Structure 1
Amino acid sequence: MQQLLNPFAQKYPEAVDSTLSSQGVSILFNPYGPFAGHYLAVGGNDGIVEIWDVETRGMIRMLEGHVKAVGGLSWSRNNRYLLSCSLDATAIIWDLSILSHPYLQPKTPATSSSSSSSSRPSSSSARSHTIRFDAPVSTAVFHPRNSKIILATLTCGEVVLVDLRNGSRHTLEDVVEGEEAPDDIQSRKRVSMACAVFSPCGSRIYTGTTNGMLLVIDPVSRFVLQRVRVANSALKQIRFDASGYNIITSASDRALRILSVDPLTSTLTPLHRFQDLVNRTPWHAIGFSGDGEYVMGGAGHKMAHNVFIWDRETTVLIKVLEGPKEPLIDCDWHPTRPVIASVATSGDVHIWQTSSPDNWAAFAPGFEELEENIEYDEREDEFDIEDETDLARRKNLEEDLEIDVLNVPTDYPSAPEPISVLPPAYLISGSEENKEEGESCIRAIQAVREWADQGPDDDTWTGFWLSLDLDEEMGEDDENGMD
């Protein structure tokens, strides 16, 4: 059970609460469902993907499949599937419903060495699909509505849209809808694409180029719908906030920029710019807080581990989190709580939280905080809250209750649908021209959704739940004569 959030508490972390020993180079919280933020995926420098429980600080999955560093991670809509991409030019979709941690495998009877080794499942059994590319993959993300649609960014400067439903692959290019091939089409093709993401509703693809342009692309027709000059240098990262109406970009000029997305036409409007003017800090990771009130930037210092936090509306620097004396590689903000996870060059994962001192007076009105211990005489009936006979009878009744610890509970609320950017009615009211433009935009978005919903995947869980196969473990214990 997660702790209830205090609406008046501080909404950003202050210090490192714990450290997870790993070999990580990339991290990502699971962002959706009733268990949002309960699990943390860590992509390792050795090609191993680890999944950690944020509450218990324990590793619950180990996925072995890559042979080089894992640079990008993505969770599916209901968190059943995990996508990892690596510099070995592959992207792997893992099915987390299959038990895959080598230390958590159900044991098999030792009839023979060959049969025992062959019947024991391995982490490769959790592999659902393996997608191979012609170049190392820097990032890869799921489509928000279908985990069989993947958007991959290659280190060679290409963005590839992969559709596993029909096995098609399309390389996105800077071609404007309705235009003939311009005279400078060859020079335009030489512009590389450095990053790409889906919009939270999945109706658009946003890509950043090496010449500072942000392109809005229709995933069905693969035409460029909008083209905005964001910076005069290469764009390195693009992230959306939870609402889907704000984008933050990171460019090689060491500046972070926020742009507003119009829900009707997907028009981009620059809003704010964040930059460390004193030290000219480069940024290795960017993002928003869960509620979108704060902007996060993971600094790329060579001898420091700092995370900058700004207020999104006022652009005021709120806090600089100072960690161990080693560079930061990647960081991610918890989707619902003021928690940040960051990765250092050593591979260790640091969990930042807000320290909240215990207020014992909040438990009962009679509690008093003392500066030093005093002697207290207990009354004879002070703690006689319930009659001993009634207490014994109630305990006997509770012993007969059966508790199911093997099956996944089904009374959890369903995972929320990806955010919708369909405009409300008042946005398309007014002149006939505005109405026609708004209705055409809505039809285009609905067409993309229908395309994405064709051939749905198996990601239909009501919530992400990692459990052990206790039936087989308990059955083997009984066979071995263990209590």
Structure 2
Amino acid sequence: MQQLLNPFAQKYPENTDTALPTQATSVRFNRYGPYAGHYLACGCGDGTVEVWDMETKGVIKTLEGHVKPVGGVAWSRNNRYLLTSSLDSTAIIWDLSFLPNPLLQPYTPYTSGKTASITSSNSSQRVRTIRFDAPVAQAVFHPRNSKIVLASLTCNEVVLVDLRSGGGRWKLSDVMEGGGEGEMEVDGAEVKGKKSALTCAAWSPCGSRIYAGTTGGLLLVIDPLSRYVMNRIRVANSGIKQLTFDAMGRNIILSSTDRALRTLSVDSRTGALAPVHRFQDLINRTPWHAIAFSGDAEYVMGGAGHKMAHNVFIWDRDSGSLVKVLEGPREPLVDCDWHPTRPVIASVSTLGEIHLWQTSSPDNWAAFAPGFEELEENVEYDEREDEFDIEDESDLLRRKDAEEDVVIDVLSPSDDYPRRPENIPTSRSPSRAVKTEQMEDEGEEEREAIRLAQAVKEWADNDPDDDTWEGFHMSLDLLTETEITVLSS
């Protein structure tokens, strides 16, 4: 059950609360479903993946399948499947709802009389292993179907993988329909030159478009069906390293190699982009290892890449001002993520520990009533006779008697009633029916965008997955004392 949140509480964390002992290299909260933010998945340096429960601060699942560090983790829309990407050039899809019987798994007998050493294999939880030609930096599910995967490789390649029957694998590139080789159009102007390589990519929250960053500072909008570039916008003069959306898909944040973060607004109808703010550490000019929005998209987070510090910068998205700098231990920051509903940030240090940043909420007894005073000792209080009366009874009776003698005229119109001025045309007047050429063009673009979004939706919903909450419950990898006794005997 989700706890009620105080709408007047501070919406960004202030200090570190706890540290989870592990060997993590990347972290991600589950962002959707009725239990959003209840689980934290972390990829470890030894190739394992751990799923933590944020309420109990304990590990509920350990997945073993990679042989090199796990650089990225991603959740499906209903948290049933987990996608992990590693430097061993593989991406694995895990089914978190299946728990193998520990009594049927191989084990190692205990070596002392007090403890038992048990090793269970989680290979049966693996749904699919996708192999690539280069190490995988990040892989994500399609927002509507977990059988469609978008992977970003460390060799500056973006690959779209469709695991359904009749699907395939395609390498995305900067190609526009009808465009010639070496020619491209940026912001309405044709530019000749060598096409840039794709460095990172992400789905729009609705799943109708793919947004990819290039080494030349361009942000590409790609159609998943035709795999052609729909639009280009120049964001920076340097390469784009990371990009991510907010929960509603109205804003996008980019991290580039010029050590600056940029936010852009996204038109939900046409997908058009417009620059909003630029964030930067003007003093130290440090790079950024992780970027994210808060759950309500009011704040922007950037994990700084200091060599001797563990800092997280928080800016206000609307004003662009720096709100808070979270200063942690001396270990550098590797990755961080913001909780989808609460002011909680999880950051990873180079030592592998996960630091949880939260807000401190002291008891404010003065908020119960205005004029409330805290007393250090008991004081005898004398109550007045009319102190807690809402209204004096004699005044209330006198007012009721006066209102009974008032005559109300319901037939004649009142001058206080608002009327429509005669010179303002109605909705059927010819002035409202006239459309300019610019309005017609905008309407045509909007209809085309709606048509493409509907086509992508039908494509994604074809052969759907079983990632639903009906009959699904994440089981725990825990053994009872009876099972441990049976295994050790």
TM-score (norm 1): 0.79
Partner SS for 2:446: helix
Question: Is 2:232 aligned against 1:235?
Answer: no
Question: Is 2:214 aligned against 1:209?
Answer: yes
- Taking structure 1 as reference, are residues 363 and 458 closer, same or farther at Cα in structure 2, changes over 3 Å only? same
Question: In structure 2, what is the equivalent of residue 188 of structure 1?
Answer: 194
- Taking structure 1 as reference, are residues 180 and 337 closer, same or farther at Cα in structure 2, changes over 3 Å only? same
Distance 2:107 2:13 in 1: 53
Question: In structure 1, what is the equivalent of residue 224 of structure 2?
Answer: 219
Question: Is 2:249 aligned against 1:250?
Answer: no
Q: Which runs of 5+ in 1 are unaligned?
A: 114-118, 375-428
Matches within 5 A, 1:385-464: 431-462=439-470
Superposed displacement of residue 460, structure 1: 1.5
Q: Is the 8 A contact 2:24 2:352 kept in 1?
A: yes
Question: In structure 1, what is the equivalent of residue 72 of structure 2?
Answer: 72
Question: In structure 1, what is the equivalent of residue 385 of structure 2?
Answer: none
Partner SS for 1:357: coil
Q: Is the 8 A contact 2:98 2:475 kept in 1?
A: no
Question: In structure 2, what is the equivalent of residue 342 of structure 1?
Answer: 347
Superposed displacement of residue 187, structure 1: 5.8
Partner SS for 1:188: coil
Q: Is the 8 A contact 1:74 1:140 kept in 2?
A: yes
Question: In structure 2, what is the equivalent of residue 36 of structure 1?
Answer: 36
Give deviations 1:414-455, integer Å, cap 9, x for gaps: xxxxxxxxxxxxxxx974433332212111110011111111
**Residue in structure 2 matching 1:312, options 317, 330, 343:** 317
| AA aligned opposite 1:439 | R
Question: Is 2:307 aligned against 1:302?
Answer: yes
Question: In structure 2, what is the equivalent of residue 127 of structure 1?
Answer: 126
Q: How many residues align?
A: 415
Distance 2:452 2:278 in 1: 31
| AA aligned opposite 2:474 | L
| AA aligned opposite 1:221 | S
- Taking structure 1 as reference, are residues 369 and 197 closer, same or farther at Cα in structure 2, changes over 3 Å only? same
- Taking structure 1 as reference, are residues 111 and 42 closer, same or farther at Cα in structure 2, changes over 3 Å only? closer
Distance 1:226 1:200 in 2: 18
Q: Is the 8 A contact 2:48 2:66 kept in 1?
A: yes
- Taking structure 1 as reference, are residues 174 and 34 closer, same or farther at Cα in structure 2, changes over 3 Å only? same
Q: Is the 8 A contact 1:140 1:152 kept in 2?
A: yes
Q: Is the 8 A contact 1:50 1:63 kept in 2?
A: yes
Superposed displacement of residue 179, structure 1: 2.1
More deviation, 121-130/25-34:
121-130
Q: Is the 8 A contact 1:33 1:464 kept in 2?
A: no
Matches within 5 A, 1:253-272: 253-272=258-277
| AA aligned opposite 1:443 | R
Partner SS for 2:458: helix
- Taking structure 1 as reference, are residues 463 and 252 closer, same or farther at Cα in structure 2, changes over 3 Å only? farther
Distance 1:363 1:121 in 2: 54
Question: In structure 2, what is the equivalent of residue 143 of structure 1?
Answer: 142
Identical-residue share of aligned pairs (%)? 67
**Residue in structure 2 matching 1:329, options 319, 323, 334:** 334
Give deviations 1:223-261, integer Å, cap 9, x for gaps: 001111101111000010111010000001010000111
| AA aligned opposite 2:132 | F
Distance 1:222 1:110 in 2: 46
Superposed displacement of residue 473, structure 1: 5.6
Q: Is the 8 A contact 1:257 1:271 kept in 2?
A: yes
Superposed displacement of residue 364, structure 1: 12
- Taking structure 1 as reference, are residues 121 and 199 closer, same or farther at Cα in structure 2, changes over 3 Å only? same
Superposed displacement of residue 55, structure 1: 1.1
| AA aligned opposite 1:93 | I
Q: Which runs of 5+ in 2 are unaligned?
A: 110-117, 185-190, 379-434
**Residue in structure 2 matching 1:292, options 270, 284, 297:** 297
